[in-house]
Amino acid sequence: MMLENRSFDQVLGNSAAPYLTQLANSNVTLTQSYGLVHPSDPNYLAVAGGSTFGRTDNPYPALTGAVTGPHLGNLVEQAGKSWRGYVEDMKSPCNLSSNGNYDADNVPFVYFKDVTGDAARCQDKLQPITRLWSDLQSTATTPEFVWFEPNSCNTMHNCSVTTGDTWMQTNLPKLFASPAWTQQRSLLVITFDEDDDNHGQRIPTLVAGSPGLTRTGYRSGTQYNHYNILRTVEDGLRLPGRLTQNDQYATPLNDIWN
């Protein structure tokens, strides 16, 4: 999950975000986690595609379906595993038209030609977040890799930190009660795309694991960025190959595990 446009101190340890602060304190906090660039979307692309693709802008909608390189979803499928992206207020599968607090580019796979250029694949892989809550009811329907995203109010982009924190408190318990979390080894990464442009790109990132998987109350001082998160996903799911040299040479989050 990638939230938006807040610095570390605006969220973790802030009284405006008691739920996320408690979740971080009970699990793993990356105290030296950094966004790569400004503005938002190139950071999304970095996690999904291993590169910012030279972008220094938010290229939606012009770049929709235009990126031809491989992405994380391809690696997941090559490993014989499943994946989906879920966004709040998407309304219908593969809805590529932003409206209100729904921003289609909050799931970066909209930029890849082999997703949005393939109607059947797009309808299957890009889903409203309501589908996530139903998919979580069984391990058989829960994808091995999930990108899920609140709307742009609840990501803290359009609304307050408190609003986003309240969304987390309301919705994350559905994940933590799911069979995939209680019966399997699962990892939740909550990070941000960029800071508020005033704190050197130091962003909040917390990691929570299913029971016994990750360290408890651990604060990592290792410097990490979005490529380290991508590499951790690749290693955790035993995916074949790497997307670019960025994830190939990135160190996974080795210090978070029990």
Domain locations in the chain? 2-256
CA gap 164, 130 in Å, rounded: 17
**Residue 130, CA distances (Å) to 55, 124, 170, 195 in order:** 31, 14, 14, 28
Across residues 213-230, what is the average pLDDT? 98
CA gap 87, 67 in Å, rounded: 20
- Summarised one tens digit per residue, pLDDT across range 151-205 is 999 999 999 999 999 999 999 999 999 999 999 999 999 999 999 999 999 999 9
Fold (topology level) of 2-256: Alkaline Phosphatase, subunit A (3.40.720)
Q: What is the pLDDT of residue 49?
A: 98
pTM of structure: 0.98
Q: What is the pLDDT of residue 149?
A: 98
